[in-house]
């Protein structure tokens, strides 16, 4: 349900270049928020529970993604980062206003934020899924 824009956090870009985040082996989670978070160039690029939704069948900290996969595509001159093709789901998620989903690295001590997505669909008590694009969570070309 990532209907809106995706934003890659600037700190995530820096952490990649510093080799602090391993996109193919770290554990990543997606947290859901009731308000937009600090802009990606803000001073607080780490996961926070502040403004995270509170709903039945939702645990603070969010839901883990599947196994992260990094792939190189020489034909199209690009690389992709995805979970193993399984979207992130919350079964029977209680009613809540959801404005943003944020992917963060749960392995690092700081829990760096990586990507945020604008969300336009609230939960209504049914199964709730954040469906990643067919090309992956992140496509570099």
pTM exceeds 0.85 for this model: yes
Q: Where do the domains of the chain lie?
A: 6-131
Asked whether the predicted pLDDT for residue 8 surpasses 80, the reply is yes
Please say whether the beta carbons of 74 and 101 come within 8 A. no
Q: Which has the closest alpha carbon to 54: 98, 111, 23?
A: 98
Residue 21, SS3 per DSSP: coil
87 is written with which tokens? Answer: 């979207």
Q: What is the mean pLDDT of residues 131-139?
A: 87
The residues facing 116 across adjacent strands are 7, 102
Q: Is the pLDDT of residue 2 over 80?
A: no
- Mean pLDDT over 110-128 rounds to 92
What's the pLDDT at 6? 86
Tell me the C-alpha to C-alpha distance, in Å, between residue 63 and each of 15, 78, 92, 96, 117.
Answer: 22, 28, 14, 16, 15
């Amino acid at each position: 349900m990532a209907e809106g824009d995706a934003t890659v956090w600037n700190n995530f870009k820096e952490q990649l270049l510093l080799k602090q985040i391993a996109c193919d082996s770290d554990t990543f989670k997606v947290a859901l928020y009731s308000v937009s978070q600090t802009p990606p160039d803000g001073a607080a690029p780490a996961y926070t529970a502040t403004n995270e939704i509170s709903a039945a069948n939702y645990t603070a900290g969010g839901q883990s993604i599947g196994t992260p996969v990094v792939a190189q595509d020489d034909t199209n001159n690009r690389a992709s980062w995805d979970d193993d093709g399984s979207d992130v789901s919350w079964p029977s998620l209680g009613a809540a206003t959801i404005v943003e989903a944020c992917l963060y690295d749960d392995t690092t001590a700081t829990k760096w934020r990586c990507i945020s997505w604008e969300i336009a669909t609230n939960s209504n008590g049914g199964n709730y899924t954040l469906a990643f694009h067919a090309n992956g969570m992140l496509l570099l070309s």
